[in-house]
Homo-oligomer: A and B are copies of this chain.
Amino acid sequence: MIRIGVIGGSGYTGGELLRLLSFHPEAEAVCITSRRLAGTPVDAVHPHLRKITSLSFESPSVEEIAGRCDVVFTAVPHGTAMDWVPDLLDAGAKVVDLSADYRLPLDVFEETYKIRHKAFIEAVFGLPELHPEVKDADLVANPGCFPTGAILSVAPLVEAGLVQRIVFDSKSGISGAGIAPSDTSHYPNLAENVKGYKLTSHRHVPEMVQELRRLSPEVKISFTPHVVPAIRGILTTAHVFVKDEFVGDIPDALEIAGLYEAFYKDAPFVRMVRDVPSLGGVRGSNFCDMSFEIDKSGERIVALSAIDNLVKGASGQAIQNMNLITGLDETAGLWFPGCAP
């Protein structure tokens, strides 16, 4: 049994790690920390976990955590994970970091997040569908929620050299904004509404650029996120404009389908769907559902992806990475469907 620690368990991703681990046959949460809540039963903060976990929040030292745990998830804000990660590694734990602290090269990180990195280390970018080397890592940088859905939706097209420019227009559930109430999450402001935000400047863009330029160095990327009246889920609409040489000569649907199939042949959690992907179809699950349609303009392919931002976009993908770095089956504890309807 793999022993799991969670640093920072009072938020949505922490609660979701515990929910998902309750399904896992070979891993078990043994320690969940919160300085503020030390001593409080976990189910006082996450009432859905009542009877499922008997843990209370703790505030142990790094050494103690590393001693009691094989793998540690750091589910703390960016800028805080760097206080934990190197020491945890030194003390012998493997780490999956859910923050942004290790996703980007040092300079890009510091420019994007406007803070100085206190403890930079190279990590593997934990999108297993593009990074098979995850399985050999001790430190995995779990991707952002928007990059996960965005990158997966178009990677096969980009790798095939078809793409000049992508406009990602994403629609996210509000749980991505966290457990604390705000004007944005205030029901009268979000219900019956759609709200664009950080229209041209979201911090997740550099992850998209990094991963897609690895596949095609010149590809241009724009991204605009929105929140929609949904608790969970991200629907990404990728408006993919092909290179000049393919304008009017886009491969047909069968060929495009073949690109996706080949690219994701070893990716259990990617599903190409019949119609269009739906947030309901992935709700609570680790699947990424996708489809595409070729614009008869001859210039554009519209690709769609749906993920659960708290699962494939955060805690589920973290467990997928944990499975890989501990030699378990990639799907262990994660092979279940979305909670539809």
Contact = CB atoms under 8 A, between A and B. Distances in A.
B280 A48 contact: yes
Interface in A195-210: 195-197, 199-201
A224 interface: yes
A23 interface: yes
Contacts of A187: 174, 185-187, 190-191, 229, 231
Contacts of A299: 220, 222
A268 B186 contact: no
A285 B19 CA distance: 11
Nearest to A23: B336
B231 A341 contact: yes
A21 B114 CA distance: 47
A268 B51 CA distance: 9
Given A295-B222, A302-B200, A339-B19, A188 B174 contact: yes
A230 interface: yes
A275 to B, nearest CB: 8
B230 A193 contact: yes
Indicate how many identical chains form the complex: 4
Interface in A128-167: 167
A169 to B, nearest CB: 4
B271 A195 contact: no
Contacts of A94: none
Contact of A22 (B185, B196, B287, B335): B335
A196 to B, nearest CB: 5
A111 interface: no
Interface stretch (A1-9, A55-63, A98-106, A232-240): A232-240
A65 to B, nearest CB: 24
Given A302-B224, A335-B22, A281 B48 contact: yes
A107 interface: no
Most buried by B among A15, A48, A296: A48
Interface stretch (A74-82, A84-92, A175-183, A254-262): A175-183
A29 interface: no
Given A49-B337, A336-B52, A175 B188 contact: yes
Nearest to A339: B284
B340 A46 contact: yes
Contacts of A167: 167, 169, 239
Contacts of A181: 181-183, 185-186
B192 A276 contact: no
Nearest to A268: B51
Contacts of A338: 48
A237 B169 contact: yes
Given A50-B273, A191-B229, A273-B47, A201 B296 contact: yes
A12 interface: yes
A232 B192 contact: yes
A312 interface: no
Most buried by B among A12, A231, A239: A231
Contacts of A49: 337
B232 A237 contact: no
